[in-house]
Amino acid sequence: MKQFSEPDFKNQEILQKESEKSFLLDFSNDMTAVRSREDLALVVRKAFRQLNPDGGYVIRKINADGTTMSAYLHDTGGSPFDAALLEQVLTEKYPIHDGIQNRIMDSYIPLLFNVRQELQRGYQLSYLDLWENMGFKTMVGIALRNGETNVGLLLLSIDEINIPILQGICSQIAIAIGNIVANEEILRRQAEQQLMLTFSNDITGVKTKSDLDYVISSVLEGLFQTRIAVLYLLAEDQVTLRPYLFDRQFFQENEVAEHEAFYSLNINEQHIRLVFQSSQPILLDIDENLEAKCLKLSIQREQRGLNSVYASALRLGEQNLGMVWMLGGKQPPVTIFQV
């Protein structure tokens, strides 16, 4: 058996450190070209293939709600997998405090997880089932932080942890994600501003009810991939809200006219007061009463899988003119509904 002298061990250590520096330098150089999520995916995949050619990984990003995480980037590596289970894991939002993710986020060093042991602890997490399905025995988890800000985490299938390399990679990934998200927000705001400018120009040319319907529907579709469920105007009595515009795909205009009293709202109803008291659009849960009042909202709810509706007051300065209800996953800005 070959014996290594102390100088040999020192040389091995030096070579190892030089190799780590070279790897991180190459990774850093590749990261300078990253401008998008797709760019980042290519660079990360290349790096992890060098570390563990057949291993899989997932990068999860903290969602806008601040309480859950979702898959941002992933690679299954060379392992077989259940396609339906993988799809579930990639689309699911996992609470940060799910028993595993919070342990990673609370640690400033990488953590090693034994998949079988975590399952035996009784955690009901689909991603644990996926790891077992893919044959992963151990997973490394490390938090992604941009300065003091938590961005997300990395989960990597690997048996041995090289802490300096993992920390170096994750530090740069966290910065890149922060920059990508910031750039996407800038582009989103620019597109929103352009659409709002177009909306302002179009609204000045509105002469008829159908013109108004078209202009409002266009801006809602462009910004939120939705359209008006119903727009109510306040009657002369300043108490009754009557339907003025609505989704004709599911409701006939003559039916509204014949049953106007039923489909009208009263400003003293609890959910109506909430809308008028708020300076921002608010989210209302759809119940049986709202389904009826909001022009067959249940049909759209079933088709789109929605359980809530956004409602916003229509105002001219401080004067309430009515309100608009719409379906959609993104909250509309208050500026759309202020005249």
Residues 157, 224 share a domain: no
End residue of a domain, out of 185, 219, 243: 185
Range list of H helices, the chain: 6-31, 37-51, 83-91, 101-105, 115-120, 126-133, 163-203, 209-224, 253-258, 260-263, 270-277, 288-293, 297-304
Main-chain phi, psi angles of 320, to 5 degrees: -75, 130
Is the same domain home to 178 and 49?
Answer: yes
Q: Is residue 195 part of a domain?
A: no
Residue 198 resides in a domain: no
Same-domain check for residues 131 and 180: yes
Q: Is residue 172 part of a domain?
A: yes
Q: Give the residue-averaged pLDDT of 310-321.
A: 85
CB 218 within 8 A of CB 202: yes
CA 18 from chain center: how many Å?
40
Q: Are residues 91 and 175 in the same domain?
A: yes
Q: Is residue 197 part of a domain?
A: no
**Residue 271 to residues 103, 169, 243: CA-CA distances in angstroms?**
40, 50, 16
Quote the pLDDT of residue 280.
Answer: 84
Q: State the distance between the two ends of the chain, measured CA to CA, in whole angstroms.
A: 86
Same domain (yes/no): 171, 209: no
pLDDT single digits (tens) 259-309: 777 778 888 888 788 888 888 888 776 655 554 455 444 444 444 555 667
Number of domains in the chain: 2
- Alpha carbons 113 and 111: distance in angstroms, whole number: 7
**227 in the same domain as 175:** no
145 and 265 fall within a common domain: no
Q: Judge if 176 and 217 occupy the same domain.
A: no
Segment 154-177 shows an average pLDDT of: 90
Average model confidence (pLDDT) across the chain: 82
Answer yes or no: is 190 within a domain.
Answer: no
- Whether residues 245 and 294 share a domain: the answer is yes
Q: What burial letters (b/e) apply to 53-70, b meaning 16+ CB within 10 Å?
A: eebbbbbbbbeeeeebbe
86 in the same domain as 219: no
Cα-only R_g, the chain: 27
Sequence-distant (6+) residues with CB within 8 A of 12 are 4
The mean pLDDT value for 170-199 works out to 87
**Letter for the amino acid at 315?**
R
Can you tell me which residue has the tokens 């709600």? 65
4-25 pLDDT, tens digit each: 555 665 677 777 778 888 888 9
* CATH number of residue 42's parent domain: 3.30.450.40
Instruction: Say yes or no: 242 and 170 in one domain.
Output: no
Q: At what angle do helices 37-51 and 163-203 cross, to 10 degrees?
A: 170
Q: What is the arithmetic mean of pLDDT over 30-46? A: 94
- Contact criterion met (CB below 8 Å) for 275 and 268: no
**Residue 138 within a domain:** yes
In this prediction the pTM is 0.66
The DSSP code sequence of 67-122 is SEEEEEEEE-TT----HHHHHHHHHPPEES-SSSHHHHHT-SS-EEEEHHHHHHTT
Q: Does the pLDDT value for residue 78 go beyond 60?
A: yes
- Lowest-confidence pick of 169-183, 275-289, 311-325: 275-289
Range(s) of the domain holding residue 66:
6-185
Domain boundary residue, one of 151, 185, 219:
185
Residue 196 lies in a domain: no
Please tell me whether residues 99 and 232 are part of one structural domain.
Answer: no
Residue 68 within a domain: yes
Query: What per-residue confidence (pLDDT) applies to 7?
Result: 61
Under the phi-then-psi rule, with left for phi > 0, alpha for psi from -120 to 50, and beta for the rest, what region is 99?
left
Look at the chain and count its residues: 339
Task: State the pLDDT at residue 337.
Answer: 41
DSSP class of residue 136 equals -
